[in-house]
Structure 1
Amino acid sequence: MIRPLILAASLATLAALAGCATTASAPRSGAAVAAYQDNIELAGGIFISYTRDGRKEPLNGSFTWKQTSASTDVSLISPTGQTVAVIKVTPTSATLTESGKPPKSAPNLDTLTAQTLGWTLPVSGLRDWLQGYATGRDGKRFVASPSNDNVITRDGWKLEYVSWQDDQAAVPQPKRIDATRIVLGEAVDDMQIRIVIRPQQQ
């Protein structure tokens, strides 16, 4: 029983984290967030609350994240330091590798999660979210800053930029991001994600 829950949590997190690549626009006038980068490496903590078989399941761990313009590589690490899952997403495929098991692949991450879990997560934007960008439900480009710190995305998530690495910096970087699934304007309990990004080493 424990192993399927770990896998479900891994895929839920990875689906949120390893979304499709998007083309960034220039920040709006006065926005404090830095320009979007195709190539980044990040690490931090991940905290998930989601409903499975009618029960609320809280899980947590840490992650490493490496992206280029052509791919996203994410590792999910348990609180005890064990790598639970590794996923690689490209424009044409998504591959999940668990320790001691053959890799599982699909044409995209939605298909992979549907095949593995039986349902598909509607999240595809965290390549943007981690850097303070999103596409709002009005289709316009959202750029986060300490004074402009929340948005409901086009695919139905409420993002809140709760804290910043240094909110007094000329270009502050996101530190904590809370994401809550929204349906008809109301929060629902099928999934909530909190991400805390560790400062990058200089």
Structure 2
Amino acid sequence: MPINHRFASVLLAAALAGCATTATQSTGGTSVVAVAPYQETIELSGRLQVTYQKDGQPGSTNGGFEWSQRPGQIDVAFLNPLKQTVATISVTPQQATLTEAGRPPRTAQDIDSLSAQALGWSLPVSGLRDWLQGYATAADGKRFIASPSNNSVYTKDGWRLRFVSWQAGANGTQMPRNIMAERNAGANGGDLAIQIILDPAA
């Protein structure tokens, strides 16, 4: 499998962004349940599918992933259908490292540079850390907090983000289950569509 097919989902998962702690938001004066408070330390797993255009040709990739996040570091494993680790990525404020079995590690100063090296086209690495927990930066620069009744936003970096379905979180909150992100990247690499389906919360 070509490298851009094997590592798209791994690189998607490594995004460094800010945090938020609000679990409710107001709509028309009525408080509605939204996502759980943002967590700096969290472990998630699931599957994702990416469809894209590169050099005018369509492509796609899919696979499982395991995400481990703590202050100052993110570790992601990309899994094949047999649940075997195909590749891992580790991101710190200093550098990002991509490792594939039987190949030397690839490093870059940040995940944006690494994704460009490995794939040749850009991924929404600045947003995914937020998206996986139901947060985003809206087009107007404000913090977006998703909920089942307020589940769509255009982000500051040009993505249409939809939280398609939800699952129960702790203390009556909700957590994303199915996330769709779409962007027309134009001359910078063509259209991109990302679907993330998270495993049920523990």
Q: With structure 1 as the length reference, what TM-score do the two structures score?
A: 0.86
Deviations 1:31-52, CA, capped at 9 Å, x for gaps: 5211100000011111111123
Q: Which residue of 2 aligns with 1:191?
A: 192
Equivalent residues of 1:60, 1:79 under 8 A apart: no
Q: Decide which of 59, 62, 76 is 1:60's aligned counterpart.
A: 62
Question: Does 1:110 pair with 2:97?
Answer: no
2: CA distance between counterparts of 1:58 and 1:90? 28
User: Which of 129, 135, 138 pairs up with 2:137?
Assistant: 135
DSSP 3-state at the match of 1:178: strand
Question: Cα gap change, 1:53/1:80 in structure 2, threshold over 3 Å: closer, same or farther?
Answer: farther
> Structure 1 vs Structure 2: percent identity of aligned residues?
48
How far apart, in 2, do the equivalents of 1:170 and 1:112 lie? 38
Q: Which moved more, 1:32-41 or 1:120-129?
A: 120-129
Question: Aligned equivalents of 1:90 and 1:21: distance in 2?
Answer: 12
Partners of 1:190 and 1:78 in 2: CA distance: 25
SS in 2 for 1:173: strand
Q: What is the count of residue pairs matched by the alignment?
A: 193
The runs of at least 4 consecutive aligned structure 1 residues that moved more than 6 Å come to: none
Alignment equivalent of 2:16, drawn from 20, 34, 41: 20
TM-score when scaled to structure 2?
0.86
CA distance in 2, matches of 1:115, 1:58: 18
User: Unpaired runs of 5+ in structure 2?
Assistant: none
2:87 alignment partner in structure 1: 85
Task: State the 1:183 CA deviation.
Answer: 5.5
Please identify, of 110-119 and 100-109, the stretch whose mean Cα deviation from structure 2 is larger: 110-119
8 Å contact kept, 2:9–2:62: no
Paired with 2:119 and 2:137, the residues of 1 have a C-alpha distance of: 27
On the 8 A contact 2:111/2:125 being kept in 1, the answer is: no
Deviation, structure 1 residue 122:
4.4
For 2:18, the aligned partner's letter is T
RMSD: 2.2
Are 1:40 and 2:42 an aligned pair?
yes
Give the Å deviation of 1:175: 0.4
Q: Deviations over 1:87-137 (max 9, x none)?
A: 001111000000111111111011112223333334311111111001001
Which of 150, 156, 165 aligns to 1:154? It is: 156
Checking the alignment, whether the CA contact within 8 Å between 2:11 and 2:89 is kept in structure 1 is no
Distance 2:154 2:180 in 1: 12
Gaps of 5+ in 1: none
Deviation of 1:148 (Å): 0.4
Residue aligned with 1:137, SS? coil
- Cα distance, 1:183–1:61 mapped onto 2, change above 3 Å: closer
Q: C-alpha separation between the residues in 2 aligned to 1:102 and 1:194?
A: 30
Alignment partner, residue 9 of structure 1: 5
Structure 1 residue 99 and structure 2 residue 95: aligned? no
The question of whether the paired residues in 2 share the 8 Å contact of 1:21 and 1:69 is answered with no
Return the offset for 1:12: 2.8
Amino acid in the other structure paired with 2:16? C
